[in-house]
Amino acid sequence: MIACLEHFVHENETDTYSRNDDAALLCSDLDIQGSIDYASPTTSLAAKDFGGIHAAKPFAVVRPAGADDISRVVKFASRSGTVTVAARGNGHSINGQAMSDGGLIVDMRSMDCSIDVVRLHSGDVVDVGGGALWEDVLRRCVLGYGLAPRSWTDYLRLTVGGTLSNAGVSGQAFRHGPQTANVTELEVVTGKGDTLICSESQNSELFFAVLGGLGQFGIITRARVLLQPAPDMVRWIRVVYADFDEFTRDAESLLTLPEGEGSSFDYVEGFAFANCDDLVNGWPSVPLDPNQSFDPTLIPCSAGQVLYCLEVALHHRNVDRRSTVDRVVERLLGRLRYCEGLEYQVEVSYMEFLLRVQHAERQAKANGIWDAPHPWLNLFVSKTDIACFDRLVFQKILKHGIGGPMLVYPLLRSKWDDRTSVVLPEGDIFYIVALLRFSLPYPKGPPVEEMISQNREIIQTCIKSGLGLKLYLPHYTSEDEWKQHFGNKWTRFVERKARFDPMAILAPGQKIFSRRN
């Protein structure tokens, strides 16, 4: 991998020099309220991301004071022949998507990210800066107003602009759609440097282009996000299945229960795990509390090498009696056919529930696996092919696990707006599969090349078997692959690019379009 990188740098040296000259010229001319940093460690940090696989050093990192500064940066870049601009949220991409090789990084986290709750006739919303972390949005809305956004990601140290540029998916998406379906208005600086307000009724083409647009059409400087009353508490539950068909039947049956207090769960996710006592990949990954244990004698003899866990949650208020909540949970669980006895429940506050991954983050940082490379693979697989995916991938290629969670849960297509730039597989129901590898750096863990090649094997196996899938948080390097990814949405994507970022200045790390001059 390192050898490949060196080769790449040599081949592109001349290019990089001329780009750096352009960037130097334009930066000396740039009159912004914020600041520009040309030096390491700032530029070196912007050359890395959470994936830890790709590296591309920018010429400079811009810390904008506001949308005006971003507009100036983009306009200056467009006057140069070669300079590109990438917004960097919290740099939690896997494959260098927020990088700009020899170009400019706009550090969105340094922008003023005020978080203002607005009470409108039509309902409560929060106006939030594109560089704000969802974690901060949660704290401000819940602690200040008893309100909360409806749709989340599992992990909240991601920026509003970063997740809206992809989709933003977690266990609430079956009901409320992804985060992109819970935004009513955006402020965007386009690739022409224009600052525009857009919504379903105003500059609507830009609005839908930017949502799930992989940063290709504009930089999101502000978003208006829908809110709902925040619950106080969450009953968090996991139940185990030995049979994939039963797991999917039950998971899908929960998607269409009527909405309303106590009528259905408020969160539905699931994961596959190895049928063994391995601490990370096996039975111990299921219990929710250190006082709970996994009794393997309860696993049916028919079970194979992989088991499945349905994870659900029910919101409730402090005033609700424990017995009432127990009754609702019992009724809802009573419909499900999980392995008797393999059921785990805990009661946590709403904030604790939404911040649950931060606990894992602390542990991973202490172990050294948070800062190791993360060759993650995220897929959307159509419902008709998920059983085949299970047989070919979970039960064969990944039967021993991946050293981290292997999420698999269903989503409803009707909750996703087809006008956004996100692409989905066919069918009313599709599954998200997230292979979230957490391994110690080599030689304590597997070599990163091995994990990348296993990801490739998974994709190739699925393609060979004709499975309907799309990459989520996609990563390709050739136009042909991108064309295939977008399918019949490719023409619209290209037209949107020509309209909003005709010089292809923005988000070069996605490697979809080349800079024009």
* Minimum CB–partner distance for residue 299 and ligand FAD (Å): 28
- Taking the C-alpha atoms of residue 506 and residue 495, their distance in angstroms, rounded to an integer, is 15
Query: Does 93 engage in binding with ligand FAD (CB under 6 A)?
Result: yes
Q: Which of 54, 92, 374, 475 is catalytic?
A: 92
Query: Does 165 engage in binding with ligand FAD (CB under 6 A)?
Result: yes
Query: Does 89 engage in binding with ligand FAD (CB under 6 A)?
Result: yes
* Binding range to ligand FAD, per CB under 6 A, among 20-28, 162-170, 285-293, 448-456: 162-170
CA distances in angstroms from 75 to 15, 85, 108, 208, 502, listed in the order given: 21, 10, 17, 23, 12
Residue 189's φ and ψ, nearest 5 degrees, are -100, 115
Identify residue 457 by its one-letter amino acid code. E
* Minimum CB–partner distance for residue 275 and ligand FAD (Å): 25
Active site residue 269: yes
Residues 501, 507, 513, 514: what is their CA dihedral angle, to the nearest 10 degrees? 100
Residue matched to tokens 């790449």: 8
Identify residue 348 by its one-letter amino acid code. V
Query: Does 507 engage in binding with ligand FAD (CB under 6 A)?
Result: yes
DSSP state of 440: P
* Minimum CB–partner distance for residue 511 and ligand FAD (Å): 10
User: In the complex with ligand FAD, which residue's Cβ is closer, 111 or 336?
Assistant: 111
For residue 305, give every residue at least 6 positions away whose Cβ sits within 8 Å of its Cβ, in sequence order, or none: 274, 275, 276, 395, 399, 400
Please identify the residue of the shown chain whose CB is closest to the bound ligand FAD: 161
Question: CB–CB of 407/436 below 8 Å?
Answer: yes
Query: Does 275 engage in binding with ligand FAD (CB under 6 A)?
Result: no
Binder among 20, 78, 151, 163 for ligand FAD (CB under 6 A): 163
Identify residue 172 by its one-letter amino acid code. Q
> What are the b/e assignments for 113-122, b being 16+ CB within 10 Å?
bebebeeeee
Query: Does 64 engage in binding with ligand FAD (CB under 6 A)?
Result: no
x-or-dash string of contact with ligand FAD, 194-223, rule CB under 6 A? --------------------xx---xx---
* Binding range to ligand FAD, per CB under 6 A, among 19-27, 135-143, 147-155, 398-406: 147-155
- Taking the C-alpha atoms of residue 267 and residue 341, their distance in angstroms, rounded to an integer, is 22
Binder among 82, 166, 195, 382 for ligand FAD (CB under 6 A): 166
Of all helices (H) and strands (E), which one includes residue 86? Answer: strand 85-88
Q: Which tokens hold the place of 306?
A: 């992989």
Between strands 183-190 and 147-149, the pairing is unpaired
Least Cα distance to 429 among 404, 408, 400, 401 occurs for 408
x-or-dash string of contact with ligand FAD, 350-389, rule CB under 6 A? ----------------------------------------
Least Cα distance to 347 among 310, 317, 305 occurs for 317
Partners of 307 in beta bridges:
273
Identify residue 449 by its one-letter amino acid code. E
* Binding range to ligand FAD, per CB under 6 A, among 90-98, 319-327, 476-484, 497-505: 90-98
Query: Does 129 engage in binding with ligand FAD (CB under 6 A)?
Result: no
Binder among 86, 196, 306, 328 for ligand FAD (CB under 6 A): 86
SS3 (DSSP) at 216: coil
Neighbour-count burial of 494, counting CB atoms closer than 10 A to its CB (0-12 exposed, 13-18 middle, 19+ buried): middle
Neighbour-count burial of 137, counting CB atoms closer than 10 A to its CB (0-12 exposed, 13-18 middle, 19+ buried): buried
Q: Which of 37, 69, 269, 320 is catalytic?
A: 269
Binder among 47, 56, 73, 108 for ligand FAD (CB under 6 A): 108
Active site residue 352: no
* Binding range to ligand FAD, per CB under 6 A, among 64-72, 165-173, 330-338, 408-416: 165-173
Q: Half-sphere exposure of 465 toward its Cβ, with a 13 Å CA cutoff?
A: 20
Query: Does 167 engage in binding with ligand FAD (CB under 6 A)?
Result: yes
Query: Does 50 engage in binding with ligand FAD (CB under 6 A)?
Result: yes
* Binding range to ligand FAD, per CB under 6 A, among 29-37, 88-96, 262-270, 460-468: 88-96
- Taking the C-alpha atoms of residue 164 and residue 128, their distance in angstroms, rounded to an integer, is 12
User: In the complex with ligand FAD, which residue's Cβ is closer, 74 or 333?
Assistant: 74
x-or-dash string of contact with ligand FAD, 421-460, rule CB under 6 A? ----------------------------------------
Active site residue 475: no
Binder among 182, 385, 510, 512 for ligand FAD (CB under 6 A): 510
- Taking the C-alpha atoms of residue 4 and residue 137, their distance in angstroms, rounded to an integer, is 40
User: In the complex with ligand FAD, which residue's Cβ is closer, 149 or 168?
Assistant: 168
- Taking the C-alpha atoms of residue 172 and residue 424, their distance in angstroms, rounded to an integer, is 18
* Binding range to ligand FAD, per CB under 6 A, among 157-165, 231-239, 261-269, 480-488: 157-165
Q: Contact residues for ligand FAD (CB under 6 A)?
A: 49-50, 86-93, 97-98, 108, 130, 153-155, 158-159, 161-163, 165-170, 214-215, 219-220, 473, 507, 509-510
Q: Which residues are catalytic?
A: 92, 154, 269
